[in-house]
Amino acid sequence: MRDDCVFCKMVAGIIPTTFLYNDHAICIVDRNPMAPEHGLVIAKEHFGNLGDLLPEDNRRILPAIFDLIDDFVCRTGINNDGYRVVSNNGDDAGQTIQHLHFHVLGGAKLKNDFGA
């Protein structure tokens, strides 16, 4: 755990939140949603972003993350109409918290505003 990381504090229970979880990740509802349904799936272990994962981490962490993504979309019902999964990696991509996480967005027609 890193003392300066808000997601590490959530994982450790220092910052209380309601979430789904498994051995390697948690899923919370985003406090500043960009869509009617906006979940954050966060690695329990601190990795800055996808680029910090080693191959053995990929095999351990990513399946757990995608299991929670599947759980979130089924619980919210957005699995039927469509949803977006995004992981911003680095400053140029818009990553604001340097801890591996994925945004899961849905519940409405999403805007197509990708790109520079």
* Residues with catalytic function: 101
- Contact present, 94 and 100 (Cβ < 8 Å): no
Q: How far apart are CA 86 and CA 84, in angstroms?
A: 6
Q: How far apart are CA 48 and CA 30, in angstroms?
A: 19
- Read off the DSSP letter of residue 3: T
Q: How far apart are CA 23 and CA 38, in angstroms?
A: 22
